[in-house]
Amino acid sequence: MSNSTNAGAILTIDLGALKQNYLTLADHLSTGELAAVVKANAYGLGVQESATALHAAGCTIFFVATVDEGIALRAILPKATIYIFHGVLPDTGEELIAHSLIPILNSLDQINDWHPHRAQPAGIHLDTGMSRLGLSPQECEQCVALLTDYNIDLVMSHLACAETENHPKNEVQLDLFNALKQVIPAKHASIAASSGIYLGADYQIDLCRAGVALYGVNPIPAETNPMAQVVRLQAKILQTRSVDTPQTVGYGATHQATKPTKIATLAIGYADGYMRSLSNSGTAFIGDFEVPVVGRVSMDLTTVDVTDVPVALLKPGSLVDLIGPNNPIDKIADQASTIGYEILTGLGSRFERRYLSAEV
């Protein structure tokens, strides 16, 4: 990770906005408590800084994917409750206990692997329709006897279609979860992640797991985003040049000038997480001027059409907003035919990273 002012692009992370998003989501709860998901290095934004800010906002329960992520988070937050989505893998039980990490047991094999440590808290993942991780309804019945002397702290599941408020699968999954959690009682129950929070109190139960919404992605895509923008990505102009027909721009000659055009080349590319699928489809902003990406995004460079931008704004080193006030993550994700999760977690290591104060 670069902190050099010589970097070609700057990634600014507003920790105050991150805290505000946590508080916004917590205020939306009708019942229960809000946990934070900080897996994948806090969705690419830095787990040290992000988890510290979230803890300062009042968060005491965190979820990560892997044991290694849990160990790293434990060093940051010695007293937090930390769940491990991937559960216990062979030979990881002792490490989980040594670092006071709580595995989510996802299969009968994992339940058996955890048997020597069954007095320690664990969670159970119930598969209610994702067909990914978790116990099937049939396996839930099978494992009731196995779990009689286990310390089950949490039962959880995951909604497949929570972003679509009226999707019939949401209610089907909730009904199944409510039935299965009677079979495997636990201290806490959780089915709602970021979007599930907005499905109402029935889904919130007593623990919600806020993930991508904390980092500014819209949890209710059909409505105005209630989240504050956390990330701003700016790239520096390396050079501007004039082109005219029949000249082409970039690899593959996928963009051809049809009139006198000014092209600015930016110091960012797919090696930095600015996706190649934004070729000829992405947009950026120079001040209030929207400029299209033209030609293919290459490993280290991206070209934009700046024909209508005043020359004074096009000096070498001038900053161009790729993610910013006029270009939120969800808009970029749509242009790249992907989701905000992939945009965030793909942000690279060559940026100069700037963290704004966590005060709100």
Which tokens in the block code for residue 67? 């044991």
**Is 270 among the catalytic positions?**
no
Q: How far is CA 123 from the centre of its chain?
A: 22
Ramachandran assignment for 150, one of left (phi > 0), alpha (psi -120 to 50 degrees), beta (any other): beta
Catalytic site residue from 83, 169, 203, 251: 251
CA-nearest of 234, 194, 226 to 212 is: 194
Looking at beta carbons, which pairs linking 56-60 to residues 24 or more positions away fall under 8 Å? Answer: 56/19, 56/358, 57/18, 57/19, 57/22, 57/23, 57/360, 58/22, 58/23, 58/26, 59/22, 59/34, 59/35
**Is 251 among the catalytic positions?**
yes
Catalytic site residue from 19, 22, 39, 215: 39
User: Which residues belong to the active site?
Assistant: 39, 251
